[in-house]
Chains A and B, each alone.
Chain A
Amino acid sequence: MPRDRFRKGTVLSLLALLATPHAAHATDALTNAADIVWVSVAAGLVFFMQAGFALLEGGCSRAKNSTNVILKNFADLCFGVLGFWVIGYGLMFGSNSTGWFGMDHFLPDSSPGNEAVFFVFQAMFAATAATIVAGSVAERMRFWPYLLASFVITALIYPLSGSWVWGSFYEGSGWLAQRGFVDFAGSTVVHSVGAWCALAAVILLGPRLGRFAKDGTPRTIPGHNLPMVALGVFILWLGWFGFNGGSTLAASQDVGTVLMNTQIAAVLGVIGTIMCAGLMRRPMSAVTILNGGLAGLVSITAGCASMSAGFSALTGLIGGFVMVLSGMALEKLRIDDVVGAIPVHGFAGAWGTLAAGMFYTGDVFNVSRIGIQLLGIGAVFVWSFGAALVLFGALKVVIGIRASTLHEQHGLDYTEHSDVGYPEFQASLAPRS
């Protein structure tokens, strides 16, 4: 039957795609004009995700901090891309003979050809990892230490673990890739790394003033603009088509598989979140439901090219549950994550990476593959969380990372930028002398 033939063809092409590392060697990737156009468009979509993050995180913050959060998103893109260009790209994609990190192609030139397109696409991924931190540390982290952290994350923390999985664009291969670790578009490589860095940061920062009562009861601090949050999630969802779809690095039929799985998992992520919230008798708040879509998207990012639609649905559905339950666990531990980035990107990302091994087409529930996925999830956690603890710990000791309580009271928009986000409706707050 034609349908069977299509399925077999798809499976074979996917297996061929996954048999080679995520980024094929420079000589045979991105040489076709259509591929270059597709990956360039995808890079634009991933760039647009920064706007989504800015709206989501800005909306989840109180009005007095919204500009600060959005500016952090904007600036971490700049500092992040700079760090990735100068050091990160070489560490992640340079010739990787040891399996641990690349050793050349630092500060790559913008010469015509596949490398420049690949760099732009990957730089957007690096910036995504960095910007995840902004939402968790919102409303109490100082601007300068945040920018320095963004630079170090994209220059060192993100690319080093990234090279273990994707570091084979020129020569060599990462040690996790050699073992068959699957993370097609970065559930672990991008999203979990950002989230584990955020986890280290929020542990060292501590919660916002009054976020938890003395007995540990969490207190909700509503964001100032839920429509902004919703629009941000819509934009992120759109951008994800570039994030996952562009990771094929080719304008091929595989893109359809990736996009379909991405869409199905996102939808089921929302449904899973609603189900879980209902079962746990948690309020179905807008932010929770919207985050459900992101949890589904993050979950499917690792396995979107190597799963059937049914397993994609299951991955997204469970991703929603994982996000809600891990968010509750973090609250119990008095960890204040303003936008819920750690449950969405960290825990749902880890689940998605595990699912990519469990539901691998043609090799479902292979214990050895699942073991390798767990090894990768654990190794990346140990590296990124540990390195981020050192990074934020050093920043805390040397220049301080937490805004003073006075600044927290007044709002970081004013104290960090001398700005007021909404001068009209904040007229009663705006300084007049």
Chain B
Amino acid sequence: MADTPWQMALPDILAEQLGAHAGAQAADLWIAKYASDAGPNVIGFMREVSQTLQLDARQRNALRAAVHKARAGASASPSGIAPEMRAGGKVAVALLTAIRSRLVARTGRPSADFIDDLGHLLADRDGLHEMAAPALGWLVQGGPMPDLTFDQLTNLVHKVYIALCHSLGPVSADEVFYAAVEHAKSLPEAAQFPPTNLIFTDKK
């Protein structure tokens, strides 16, 4: 399949961050194992590169930030999105924000179990791929929400539900979700895209 702009720029980014030799090694790894996938597993690639090249924490973070920046720049084009999906995106962000607030209110920050579990779920094959780290980072640390597509947001909502079930149990997870739905209903966009759709309808 044809490479997207950020994928085409990846060898340069790797060379810039890791140096010519290590960058070429990393680029070879990308081409050999990841580039041909329909939704390449950038998180898996980062992990493997870090292990293979024995990158330290600073190098890993710098590489992750550079790749994320390139990826986000390539996908930040809202034109052509259906109005319902745009409203749905806002509702999903409100829902996730409310869930995050409740988690923070409960224990000061989301529990380590939750973060660990969600990290694994987001890094899975059907996870958020290169957006997994920014999304997880936002849930842990707050701040501005990374720019996710509607599909990525609905996927994130579901993964958060699973992680909540694992860490808190399904009864508490449902309580957190229903409270978040009530909060998200107050948005004007909720009239166009009810937040219940995010937890009840099958979008697949």
Contact = CB atoms under 8 A, between A and B. Distances in A.
Interface in B153-189: 158, 161-162, 164-166, 168-171, 173, 178, 181-182
A3 interface: no
Interface string B129-169: 00000000000000000000000000000100110111011
B40 interface: no
A221 B170 contact: yes
Contacts of B168: 210
B170 A219 contact: yes
Contact of B171 (A221, A411, A415): A221
Contacts of B200: 410-411, 414, 429-431
B199 interface: yes
A20 interface: no
Interface residues of B, number: 25
A211 interface: yes
Contacts of B162: 209, 405, 409
A414 B158 CA distance: 16
B202 A410 contact: yes
B113 interface: yes
B197 A210 contact: no
B201 to A, nearest CB: 5
How big is chain A's contact interface, by range? 20 to 34
A428 B201 contact: no
B166 A210 contact: yes
A338 to B, nearest CB: 12
A406 B197 CA distance: 12
B106 interface: no
Given A209-B162, A214-B113, A221-B170, A433 B204 contact: no
Interface string A16-51: 000000000000000000000000000000000000
B55 to A, nearest CB: 30
Contact of B202 (A208, A210, A405, A407): A407
Contacts of A429: 196, 199-200
B193 A209 contact: no
Interface string A363-407: 000000000000000000000000000000000000000000111
Given A406-B204, A409-B158, A428-B178, A214 B166 contact: yes
25 contacts: A209-B165, A209-B166, A209-B170, A210-B165, A210-B168, A210-B173, A219-B170, A219-B171, A406-B158, A406-B202, A406-B204, A407-B202, A409-B161, A409-B199, A414-B202, A428-B178, A428-B196, A429-B196, A431-B194, A431-B197, A431-B200, A431-B201, A432-B194, A432-B196, A433-B194
Which 7 A-B pairs give the minimum distances between C-beta atoms? A210-B165, A219-B169, A209-B165, A210-B170, A431-B201, A210-B169, A432-B194
Interface of B: 84, 113, 158, 161-162, 164-166, 168-171, 173, 178, 181-182, 193-194, 196-197, 199-202, 204
